[in-house]
Each structure stands twice: as structure tokens, then as C-alpha cells.
Amino acid sequence: MDNNYNPYQDLIKILDKVAGMLGYEESDVSILKYPERELQVSVPVEMDDGTVKVFQGYRVQYNSLRGPYKGGLRYHPQVNMDEVKALSGWMAFKCAVVDVPYGGGKGGVTVDPNTLSHKELVRLTRRFTAMIAPIIGPEIDIPAPDVNTNAEIMGIIVDTYSMLKGHSSPGVVTGKPIELGGSLGRAEATGRGVMISTMEYFKKHGIDPKTQTVAVQGMGNVGSVAANLLNEKGCKIVACSDVSTGIACEAGLDMADLMKYLSVRGNLLKDYKRDGVRMISNEELLTFDCDVLVPAALENQINETNADKIKAKIIVEGANGPVSVKGDEILDKRGVIVIPDILANAGGVVCSYFEWVQNLQFMSWNLETVNQKLEEVMVKAFAGVVKKAEEHNTNMRNAAYMVAIERLVRAKKLRGIFP
């Protein structure tokens, strides 16, 4: 990754641009440019060999104008304060675009979880939870899974937080195991939302999914589900990747076989050997000859170094911030359609909201209800962004930010500034 890339600076650039397009003064939007609260913690962990390692952890509470802070926790070696600030800001705008009553937050630990034993991972999660416990809570700030974290980790957080509080508190996180109050459909919700957004675009433009080829960067929780569901809708998945390699097959990957292969923990694409499937590099994956590209890995994957080489006509952002501001400008000039992250990948947080509501009501909904409500929210948000784009004759990213900024500015006006 480019060392000069700073996602928080990218976020400010978009904000300034879109606020200008909406005719706002600086004082209307200045509050949206800074996180309300930033916490950095040094997390000591006793390793299995008896030594102590100290990891850096973060929780940034970007904005609470529209509700409690909400957003995931990521475990990744690249995690740093500017990244978490940007990710927390994107959550605030995402929740506003889909109109769920949350602000934005995000956290993480700078660690490669693959280098830890399971017991070390549990100890890290417990100590990190204890260190951010003073600022999280079901009505305050609700973490969820993100890169390299999952339902199991959320379960450990529920237990740690509950023990500290002296009572069971399942609503402190979303994306929990179903047995601990998690919601049906939550694990697939981000990928499902990516599929719904893509289908809405197809419907609006009269595109038959059966004519579409798709490449997916990242076969984690978001990318694999999106690829599989798009395939069910008739799209041909011609390439995909994980941390180990990319794979390609012009005739279309056998998704049933691939999903089965990936369902085994630890299976990597580099060992997926099938007739007609060849290995490709990450760069080849991003510039693959296809109709739709779904970057579902990390930030800054498409930037000024490769945006002019992208062959896809439509990019659906499964990841947060996969296209840099400079990359976005190049794509826009070239007429490449981008369905932006704060809309396309919002299915996860929408379903988190459903989970939280179920927890607060001590209820659980069936899968059909969850998926139907998710579709309703995503379709409505998509239509709202499209309408805004048409009104302002602009692209979907600008339009999504317009919708979000208007809602946030309105919330600020209604609340006023304390004291």
C-alpha cells in the first residue's frame, strides 16, 4: 500500500467537495470533519511462551448526532489511528444513507491474528474489551465484526463485558453467535446487501444479470457471500481472490464447489486446483476483463496507479474505502459506475440494527423476516441515492454523501450544540 495514502484525509476531501455542491457553509459541516472521541489503548497479552507482548488498540467514536456510535472492530497489521478515524466516519455516513438511528464508530487492534494461537487471540480480545469497556455499551457504542473478526470474537466480547458489568449484556455487540442473541441472516447481510445494490442497478438500467461477468477481490465474509448470491441471480463469476492468490476461469467458476472448499477453515485459494481454473495476481484480478468488479478486501486498492486500467464497467464497493479519491476521479472521468461503500456494503450494519432491536425487545425474527426487511431498507436507500444523483446530475458517491450530509446537518440543527 502507498505510504502517503491517508483515508481520513480522503474522507475530508469528499466531505468538503460534497458540502460545497450542496451550498453549505463551513460552520454547517465543520462538526462532521472530526471524531467526537478517540481512544487508544496499549493491550498487554501474555503469550503462550510466557512472554508479554503489547498491542495497540483503538476505538474511535466519530459521531452520535443520529444515535449511539456503531461500527466494527478489525484485527489487522495495518490498523492505525487515521485508518480507524476514516472507518468510523464512513460508518456515520453509512448509517445516515440507509437511515438507521446510529452514529458512527470503529475500532481495531494492530495485529495479524494468524500469528496468534487461539488462546492468545481470546486473551487479546478479553483485555482489549476490558480496556474499551468504559466507552462502549448497548446504548452507547456497539461494536460488530469487521476484517478478521467474527461471531466467535463477538461472543467473547459479550462474555467479558457482561462479567465486568455483573449482568448479561448481549446488546453490547452485534454479529454475535445466534445462541447468544445474534440475528439470523447477520453473517450474510453485508454480502447480501452488495448483491441487492448490484441488482437494483441492473434493474434500473435494464441489464440482465445472466449477461454479466463478475470479479471479486476478497473471498471473506463479504466477497464470498456477494459472489455466491450474484451467481444465484445468474451472473458468471469469472475471477476472485483471497490473501493467498487470485483465481480466474472465463467459463465461470463453479460457485457451489468453491463455497464448499472455502467453508473449510484455513483453506486458501492457492491450493484450489481445478481444471480450467488458473492463478492470477491481485493486480490482474483488479484489472480483469469483466462487467462488474466487487472489491471486498481493504482500502486503497484502486487508486491513481491502476484506475485507468480497470476494465469493469461497474464497481460495487464491498469493502470500506477500496477506491481512493484520486482513483475515483479517474474512474469518474472514464465513465466507470461506482456504487459507493456507504451504500453498497451497508447491509451489514442494517442487519446489526435489526439484531440490536431484537435484543432490546427480547425477541427473535425468522430469517425470512430479516432478509425481507434488509431488502426493503437497501432498496429504499438505493432509490434515495439514485434520485439525489439525478437531481444534482452527479455520480452515486457524491449523491450518497449528499443524502448522508443532509441528514446529519439536519440532526445537528434539531439538536443544537450543547451547552
Question: Which residues of this chain interact with ligand GLU, rule CB under 6 A?
Answer: 70-72, 144, 146, 174, 320, 345, 348-349, 352
> DSSP of 55-86, one letter per residue?
EEEEEEEEE-TTSSEE--EEEETT--HHHHHH
Query: Whose Cβ is closer to ligand GLU: residue 198's or residue 345's?
Result: 345
Active-site residue among 106, 176, 326, 388?
106
Residue closer to ligand GLU, measured from CB, 204 or 380: 380
Instruction: Choose between 129 and 345: whose C-beta lies nearer to ligand GLU.
Output: 345
- Residue the block writes with cell 429504499: 380
> How many Cβ atoms are within 10 Å of 281's Cβ, its own excluded?
11
Nearer to ligand GLU, 71 or 218 (CB): 71
Least Å from the CB of residue 417 to ligand GLU: 26
C-beta separation of 381 from 97 below 8 A: yes
* Shortest CB 190 distance to ligand GLU, Å: 6
Long-range (24+ apart) CB contacts under 8 A made by 311-315 are 311/287, 312/215, 312/288, 312/336, 313/337, 314/198, 314/201, 314/338, 314/339, 315/339
Rounded CA gap, 355 and 366, in Å? 11
- Residue with C-alpha cell 463485558? 161
* Residue 409 Cβ vs ligand GLU, minimum distance, rounded to whole Å: 22
- Pick the closer one to ligand GLU by CB: 172 or 214: 172
- For ligand GLU, the closer of residues 238 and 350 by Cβ is 350
Report in angstroms how near the CB of residue 32 gets to ligand GLU at its nearest: 18
194 Cβ neighbours under 8 A, 6+ residues apart: 222, 225, 226, 229, 294, 296, 316, 318, 344, 345, 347
Nearer to ligand GLU, 209 or 347 (CB): 347
The alpha carbon dihedral of 123, 125, 131, 133 has a sign of negative
Nearer to ligand GLU, 73 or 269 (CB): 73
Best CA proximity match to 89, nearest among 135, 41, 29, 134: 29
Residue carrying C-alpha cell 468453491: 258
Helix (H) or strand (E) holding 240: strand 236-241
81-100 in b/e form (b: 16+ CB < 10 A) is: bebbbbbbbbbbbbbbbbbb
User: What's the N-to-C CA distance of the chain in angstroms?
Assistant: 43
Residue 106 Cβ, how far from ligand GLU at the closest point, in Å?
A: 7
Reply yes or no on whether 70 is catalytic.
Answer: no
Comparing CA positions, the residue from 199, 179, 201 lying closest to residue 191 is 199
Residue with cell 487470485: 246
CA distance 130 to 43: 10
Query: What whole-number distance in Å separates Cα of residue 362 and Cα of residue 237?
Result: 40
Contacts of residue 88, defined as CB under 8 A and 6 or more positions apart, other chains included, come to: 35, 60, 61, 62, 63, 69, 71, 104, 105, 106
- Give the catalytic positions in this structure: 106
